[in-house]
C-alpha cells in the first residue's frame, strides 16, 4: 500500500563508474523477474544507453547490450517505464518515448511551455530542465514554465501518447531544488544537490497542497545529479559524483486515512 515518506536509509554504493553526472535505473513497472539495469553516462548530447541483464552484471560491468538513441538526450531526468525509456530530447522541450524491444521511437511530443536548455534546471545545472519519473500511479514530468515564474510544474503524463493529463503548480522555485522524486502521488523535493541536503518540501497532488518537511538525506559523495524512486523495488536510485547509489525508503501507512492516494 501507499504511504507518506518518513525516512530514507543510509546510502548503499552499488558501483563507482562513469563521469560526475549521469543516470541509471531499472524498470519501474515490469515483473520482479525482469532485473535489467539501464545506464546513461553524462547529461549532454548523449545517445548511448547500456542495458545490463541484471544488477550483478551491472556491478561487474558485463553482459550488456547497447542502444543508440536516434535523438540525443538532455539532462539526467530519464525513466524506464514498462519497457520504454522516457527522456528529454536535446535542445527542445520534446518528450521522447523510446521502446527497447523494437529499438525505435514510438512517440515524441512537446511539453507545452516547458523551459529547456538550462532555462529552469535543478540547482546543479546540467540541462536538467525536464525530469521524468514514475510512482505507484503512473508516469510524471517535472519542469518549469515562464508563465509560472520558474516554479516547479508537476504533470501527470499518458505513457502511450505523452499527452499531459493534468498539471499542478507547486509554487517551489525549480532552480532552488536539488532534485525531486514521486512517491504515492506526492512530489518530494531536496533543497540542495550538495552535502547537507535534506528532503525539504512535499507537494500532495490529491489535495493540491504542500508542506515543508525535514527528512535527513545523507549525500555521501556531495554531488547528486539524478534521484528517482522505483515503486516496484521501493528504493531511490541516485547518481552521486560518479557513484551509483541506492537508498531504502520508509513509508508510514495509515489504513483508510483521509486523503489517502
Mean pLDDT of 183-190: 98
pLDDT at 1: 75
> What are the residues whose beta carbons fall under 8 Å from the beta carbon of 116, sequence distance 6 or more?
74, 88, 91, 92, 93, 127, 129, 130
Assess whether pLDDT exceeds 70 at residue 258: no
Distances (CA, A) of 218 to 172, 177, 215: 22, 16, 10
Contact 81, 28 (CB under 8 A): yes
Q: What does pLDDT average to over the chain?
A: 96
Assess whether pLDDT exceeds 90 at residue 215: yes
Backbone angles phi, psi at 33, to 5 degrees: -65, -25
pLDDT tens string 74-131: 999 999 999 999 999 999 999 999 999 999 999 999 999 999 999 999 999 999 999 9
Assess whether pLDDT exceeds 80 at residue 247: yes
CATH topology classification for 4-252: Neuraminidase (2.120.10)
Alpha helices (runs of H) in the chain, residue ranges in sequence order: 55-60
Share of the chain above pLDDT 70, in %: 97
Contact 146, 115 (CB under 8 A): yes
In the chain, where the domains are located: 4-252
Q: What share of the chain is helix, strand, coil (3-state, %, to 5)?
A: 5, 55, 45
Banded pLDDT at 253 (limits 50, 70, 90): confident
> What are the residues whose beta carbons fall under 8 Å from the beta carbon of 149, sequence distance 6 or more?
none
Assess whether pLDDT exceeds 60 at residue 158: yes
Q: Which residues pair with 44 in a beta bridge?
A: 74
Mean pLDDT of 62-85: 98
pLDDT at 255: 60
Amino acid at each position: 500500500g501507499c504511504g507518506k515518506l518518513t525516512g530514507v536509509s543510509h546510502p548503499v554504493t552499488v558501483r563507482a563508474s562513469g563521469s560526475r553526472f549521469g543516470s541509471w535505473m531499472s524498470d519501474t513497472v515490469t515483473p520482479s523477474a525482469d532485473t535489467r539495469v539501464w545506464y546513461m553516462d553524462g547529461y549532454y548530447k548523449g545517445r548511448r544507453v547500456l542495458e545490463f541483464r541484471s544488477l550483478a552484471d551491472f556491478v561487474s560491468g558485463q553482459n550488456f547490450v547497447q542502444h543508440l538513441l536516434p535523438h540525443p538526450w538532455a539532462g539526467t531526468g530519464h525513466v524506464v517505464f514498462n519497457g520504454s525509456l522516457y527522456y528529454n530530447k536535446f535542445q527542445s522541450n520534446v518528450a521522447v518515448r523510446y521502446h527497447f524491444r523494437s529499438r525505435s521511437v514510438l512517440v515524441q511530443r512537446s511539453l507545452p511551455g516547458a523551459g529547456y536548455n538550462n532555462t529552469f534546471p535543478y540547482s546543479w545545472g546540467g540541462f536538467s530542465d525536464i525530469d521524468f519519473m514514475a510512482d505507484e500511479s503512473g508516469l510524471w514530468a517535472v519542469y518549469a514554465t515562464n508563465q509560472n515564474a520558474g516554479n516547479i510544474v508537476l504533470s501527470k503524463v499518458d505513457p502511450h501518447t505523452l499527452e499531459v493529463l493534468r498539471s499542478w503548480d507547486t509554487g517551489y522555485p525549480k532552480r532552488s531544488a536539488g532534485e525531486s522524486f514521486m512517491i504515492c502521488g506526492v512530489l518530494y523535493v531536496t533543497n540542495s544537490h550538495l552535502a547537507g541536503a535534506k528532503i525539504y518540501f512535499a507537494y500532495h497532488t490529491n489535495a493540491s497542497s504542500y508542506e515543508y518537511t525535514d527528512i535527513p538525506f545523507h549525500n555521501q559523495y556531495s554531488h547528486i545529479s539524478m534521484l528517482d524512486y522505483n515503486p516496484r523495488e521501493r528504493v531511490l536510485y541516485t547518481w552521486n559524483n560518479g557513484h551509483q547509489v541506492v537508498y531504502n525508503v520508509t513509508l508510514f501507512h495509515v489504513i483508510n486515512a483521509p486523503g489517502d492516494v
